[in-house]
Structure 1
Amino acid sequence: MPRKTMIEAIRDGMDVMMERDDNVVVFGEDVGFFGGVFRATQGLQAKYGKSRCFDAPISELGIVGSAVGMAAYGLRPCVEIQFADYMYPAYDQIVSEAARMRYRSNGQFTCPMVVRMPTGGGIFGGQTHSQSPEALFTHVAGLKTVMPSNPSDAKGLLISAIEDPDPVIFLEPKRLYNGPFDGHHERPVTPWSKHELGEVADGYYTIPLGKAAIRRVGSAITVLAYGTMVYVAEAAANETGIDAEIIDLRSLVPLDIEAIEASVRKTGRCIVVHEATLTSGFGAELSALVQETCFYHLEAPVARVAGWDTPYPHAQEWDYFPGPSRVGQALLNAMEP
């Protein structure tokens, strides 16, 4: 299979769906002629025309609001918000309109739309280009929330998201956009990782929403992670020598509860790792879920490793989000008698 970056895989996923379905439209700020700030839509306007891939005004509220109307009309919009930090003006449209369309219309209308957003830090983008707001979406009934960790998953999950009859928030970790990541470095490492996560099948394929993946099989402790933190967890497990099982959630809502339960009941221990701030982060939901469903199998409290409860610190961002040392220490603490 050809090797692709996550950006190329995401572009491929949109290309596949635009070719298969004339109702799929792509738009957002600078996504047309320019190809997007990260070039995720490069070439789509030239191939499909300005009516299928086009630029929108600098108005996130307008972009998402228009997408809601298009989806209700029968189109399948896939819109880009340049950075997840910019989604706040559109949050009302996402929550009050898109998420409630099916319920408030008593099933007469659905809202088959995807909102793509680059998320997370690692590029020294500062407070307005580095946030991880996934918990704001997982809290909203009617929304599905996805965050891939590798190019192959990104393409398959995006195709599933575009085909889904309901709104999907598709969060793309910026640190993984242009190649593999070893859990340490600021920029992608070469050559491609031993797992060849850059291999992406040509053409149409899907990865179902709500199915986690085991990235590292182990028996001593379960690590729940998603996005960039999958690689950080793997680096921490390798450096500590702890036989950790790493679960890549991929889909936060719907969540693969069965995979989580099976792993924790096997290992008896669990830590949760995410880049967003600790308080009210998605890790709190995961921790509560593990306690509720696996309490009698646990040999230690569920621990969380996350970002600081502070505004995003530009100069200290590589200390802000979990690295292998912080995750490794959590692994060691959880293994204590």
Structure 2
Amino acid sequence: MKRLGELASTLDLDLRGDPDHQVERIASLDTAGALELTFLADSRRRGQLTESRAGAVIVRPDDADSVPGNALIAPDPHLAFARAAQLLHPPEARSGIHASAAVDESVQVGHGVAIGAQAAIGRDVVLEEGVQIGAGVVIEDHVTVGAGTIIHPRVTVLAGCVLGAGCVVHSGTVIGSDGFGYARDGQRWERVPQVGNVRIGDGVDIGANVSIDRGAIGDTVIENGVKLDNQVHIAHNVHIGENTAIAGCVGVSGSTRIGRCCTIAGAVGIAGHLVIADNVHITGMAQVTKSLTEPGIYSSGTGIEANRSWRRNVARFHQLDDIARRLRTIERRLKTDD
């Protein structure tokens, strides 16, 4: 339970209403009750405020007069709501090592570390203060996990990888798997040993079933504040800059360098050995086949349409080269006639 006055003070928000009113959890605008906190980000939905029974609503200054009850006022209600939610729903703090966990005697275990059932922790691992290791997690030799990082059940962190402080890694993720490195001998493939590591910075969130490959020679690097959604694949020697966010089912091929503060929407495919500048925003299902050296919004592909229309357009697409040749011929004739 948090008093509204306490929330307002902690989050540096103005409060209109009862500072002693308490809320205990978050909820949506249309379902929130007296003990719940919600928010309104879109002023076009202002009419819903009159019907809300929420204990408090976070709103922009222009919407505050429409709130029938308690209002917390913020220039960015969604951001303020996110911060309030962290205060109302902190991660459950545990400590201690489950009896069924296999922890090598060389492991350095910081204060307040929790290791769940059936976890396996290898040699010379460092678990800094407050690290939370879920059930069935496998951490191989010489891994370092920074303070306060939470690793959910069934994550695998392979040998030599480094995770920073305050990270969250969700179930099914594999960090440090071999990159896709092979040399061809006629019709056969020879495996190239992948001897680099994965280095992950502070405050990185990694979704479920993400694969982050170790570098072939150097390291794969995920800088501070990066957010990876579920089922993202980061290939060997990729470098992702600070505070970049990548949505689900994105694949980034080897040795590509992605800048700071980029956003990459779902199902984007990025070819290898490219450079993507800072502040690049790529829309969903785009195919990135060349470097993007300037900030901005980039897209590729075509939107969905009726099959009959799509089939006609595809047929015309295959005629474009012939049409372009004919057009050049006509242009040359026109110039000659002039």
Give the TM-score normalised by the residue count of structure 1.
0.26
Q: Which has the higher contact order (CA 8 A, sep 6+)?
A: 1
Higher CA-based Rg: 2
Give the TM-score normalised by the residue count of structure 2.
0.25
Higher relative helix content? 1
